[in-house]
Chain A
Amino acid sequence: MYESVSADFYDEMYSQDGDVRPAYKQIESWISKQPKGGLKQIAHDAEETFRRLGITFAVYGSTDAVERLIPFDIIPRIISASEWRRLERGIEQRVRALNAFLHDIYHRQEIIKAGRIPEELILKNAAFCPEMVGANPARDIYSHIIGIDLVRVAENEFYVLEDNLRTPSGVSYMIEDREAMMRLVPELFSRYRVAPVEDYPENLRRTLRSVSPPSCKGEPVIVVLTPGIYNSAFFEHSFLADEMGVELCQGGDLYVEDGFVYMRTTQKPKRVDVIYRRVDDEYLDPLTFNPDSTLGVPGLFSVYRAGNVTIVNAPGTGIADDKAVYTYVPQIIEFYTGERPILNNVQTFNCTNEDERSYVLDNLEELVVKEVHGSGGYGMLVGPASTKKQRADFARRIKDRPSNYIVQPTLALSTCPTYVEKGIAPRHVDLRPFVLCGEDVKITPGGLTRVALKKGSLVVNSSQGGGTKDTWVLED
């Protein structure tokens, strides 16, 4: 290794005394047997492949190339079978509870009546969607496609950093990273039994199929709805449509007539039953939400309310992954499942509480501040890596609008050996497993490991220069 493992962090490959953890033994020996320049060549080949295939994302506000590659790291991240079983149980418990919560919030609101969550936190929340009150989605499922962001801080200690119940992205990288690994280093796969991930698109199709609207008899027509080629995740939209063998539509391809949604085709219009939309709620239907939107389909929401089309994920799911509601997820799990949460939340300070706020303001250097409605690593302060000026700036903003921020301790994200310019070095990682909720709950073994490529950085978002790793869940 070019840099040694830090004693302050759990390393995925090496224990504190420098021993290689059992799951990584074969990887370590493979790396050590690489000829000089071998890893560099593989990394180079990987980048070439991704560029040629056009596996790119767009960075908003950047003036150079519209499309960039997400750096791909060739050293996989490995999760043992037993570790995965526990994560899987925790994730399933969590997503079932969150879907039950959404149903309750948009119907009887028992959890508010029971005093387990403050009324104003829900009803006055910008993510609460009044138009959804009383709507009845197929199978009572609101969020069908979910990404749960996890971080590890110790051997058996994982935390949920955030839930993504709106339109989580990244699943195409999970699949393409595996594809790249199998192409570049096939010999590694003969030394491990790695759980496959490539059946995700088929499982997604089945999930979408299982939630077709009651009015649909026969085989449902499924489409993916994208904002278009300039969207940051367009590659993923077209990838998923392609892998499922369904049409990739833009708003203009669909229209509403006589209570149903139709596609414009070269021949007769075709009725659409299930829309996997990658367009945000407010742009879905200019008649119901943002009237200036040209990305959506006028009248779509009324068809949805009438039960003649399924929108996946349902509008209004943002109330369940709102950063302010996040703090209540343990209570939400207990309320709807009667069980203790298997996966823990990260301790979160509430800045509207005076004591907590003054603690936060005194200790900004050790804390992470996030905007309640921010995402993608924008608008956040990582205390240990911040300047005095940035801290003063955030302190002022917190005092001005305390409810706009949540604050958490800086987590000691685990590190994983990563190939960087000068060799192999430990870099911080997180993990986003992908969950499908339809007829049943399916969790693809593994998920997307994101890695902060800058030394010492704890921000793994691709928009902030993060990369990805193939993630292996080992089978017993």
Chain B
Amino acid sequence: MLGRTASNLFWISRFMERAENMARMLDVGYRVSLTPSLDSGHREQWESTLRAAGIAEAFAERFQTAEVAQICDFMLFDSDNAASVYSCLSSARNNARAVRTAITSEMWESINTTWLEFSDIKPSRDITSDIPRLVDWVKRNTAQFRGTMLNTLLRTDGYSFSQLGAFIERADNTARILDVKYYVLLPRAELVGSNLDMSQWSTILRAASAHRSYKHAYRDRFKAWNIAEFLILRREMPRSLAHCYGWITSTLDDLESYYGNRYECHELCQRVNDTLRQSDMDLIFQEGLHEFLTNFIASNNSLAMNIAEDYNFY
């Protein structure tokens, strides 16, 4: 397989995953802005949402104020925002077009139809009233793409590269949501003791599509400690860091047996995976959650770069 093809497959999945995450984060931000707030909570919430999405600076450069409609447009439709849903779907489709021979026709149709439908969407003047509908649409279509890929793509090297893209993006996203949101909420949690503001805390879980599954896993009300554990260490939680690294590790193992070669990326992945397996929440909180997540995000980035280098992406 061409190095460029491998790179394209990696990025198609990564962009689709990012589009979905962007939509989910927008959903959460919007939901919060609808709930009554005591103080300047909204502003902070949006601010943190933009930071979690990694687009706070880009947004601040463009806009003085943070109107809800502006934020929505920026996250969904703005072609100058490289992380907007628009840009993600467009990049995914261009990548897919370039490697049509390496993906199945079902995958291509899914991605192409998604793009054509999205570019036909004309948001109404009051974009905010469309948010729930648009977010659902993005989630449905990205899920359909992923399902189509799982159902049709040959389990060879190309499949592995596309899995790596999806799970590296997902791990990055979960870590960032947790990092950013946790620090917005934690001071408040101390203020009110153990009596957490349920709707606020549930936003972290919602941003990771995990507020219902939390209930099943813990049968308990939302607790800061549990939420962090759920999103970092619980392997059964499909967006947790541990789950993502379980998947990435076995995917890199597949590549090792497919090609018969082991590289730097395998070693790094092993180290990150071991850390996650051997940690518990006591340890993590001792080290400091923020430090832990910052290190994780950096390692995750390095892994992406190592993969690109080891498999001749260009």
Contact = CB atoms under 8 A, between A and B. Distances in A.
Contacts of B109: 52-53
Nearest to A224: B101
Interface stretch (B2-10, B143-151, B206-214, B288-296): B2-10
Interface stretch (B21-29, B68-76, B92-100, B236-244): B92-100
Given A52-B109, A53-B105, A253 B97 contact: no
Given A53-B105, A53-B109, A54-B112, A264 B97 contact: no
B116 interface: yes
B97 A54 contact: yes
Contacts of A53: 105, 108-109, 112
Given A263-B2, A265-B3, A267-B259, A242 B101 contact: yes
A175 B27 CA distance: 45
A54 B314 contact: no
Contact of A229 (B1, B98, B312): B98
Nearest to B6: A266
Contacts of A247: 2, 5, 101
A397 interface: no
A51 interface: yes
A252 B4 contact: yes
B2 A249 contact: yes
Contacts of A317: none
Interface in A215-258: 228-229, 234, 238-239, 241-242, 247-250, 252-253
Contacts of A249: 2
User: Interface residues of B toward A: which range?
Assistant: 20 to 34
Interface in B100-126: 100-101, 105, 108-109, 112-113, 116
Given A52-B112, A53-B105, A54-B112, A228 B3 contact: no
Nearest to B115: A54
A264 B4 contact: yes
Interface string A77-121: 000000000000000000000000000000000000000000000
Contacts of A266: 1-3, 6, 157, 259, 311-312
A238 B108 CA distance: 12
Contacts of B112: 52-54
B278 interface: no
Contact of B2 (A51, A228, A253): A253
Contact of B1 (A51, A52, A250, A265): A265
Contacts of A248: 99-101
Contact of A252 (B5, B99, B314): B314
Contacts of B261: 267
A253 B4 contact: yes
Nearest to B102: A248
Contacts of B101: 238, 241-242, 247-248
A267 B258 CA distance: 11
Nearest to B259: A267
Contacts of B3: 253, 264-266
Contact of B100 (A242, A250, A265): A242
A229 B113 contact: no
Contacts of A51: 116
A152 B46 CA distance: 68
Contacts of B311: 266
B217 to A, nearest CB: 38
Nearest to B1: A266
A52 B105 CA distance: 10
A250 B1 CA distance: 13
A239 B97 CA distance: 11
Contacts of A241: 101
A278 to B, nearest CB: 14
Given A238-B100, A265-B2, A266-B1, A52 B113 contact: yes
A264 B108 contact: no
A155 B135 CA distance: 61
Most chain A beta carbons < 10 A, residue from B2, B259, B261: B2
B290 to A, nearest CB: 36
A234 B97 CA distance: 9
B309 to A, nearest CB: 11
A253 B5 CA distance: 10
A52 B108 CA distance: 9
Contacts of B5: 247
A252 B311 CA distance: 16
Nearest to B105: A53
Top 7 A-B residue pairs of the complex, sorted by shortest distance between their CB atoms: A242-B101, A266-B311, A238-B100, A266-B6, A54-B112, A241-B101, A229-B97
27 contacts: A52-B112, A52-B113, A53-B105, A53-B112, A54-B97, A54-B108, A54-B112, A229-B94, A229-B98, A234-B97, A238-B100, A238-B101, A239-B100, A241-B101, A242-B100, A247-B2, A247-B101, A252-B4, A252-B314, A253-B4, A264-B2, A265-B3, A266-B2, A266-B3, A266-B6, A266-B259, A266-B312
Interface of B: 1-6, 94, 97-101, 105, 108-109, 112-113, 116, 157, 259, 261, 311-312, 314
Given A234-B97, A253-B4, 19 more contacts: A52-B112, A52-B116, A53-B108, A53-B109, A53-B112, A54-B100, A54-B112, A228-B98, A229-B94, A238-B100, A242-B100, A250-B4, A252-B4, A253-B3, A264-B4, A265-B1, A265-B3, A266-B2, A266-B312
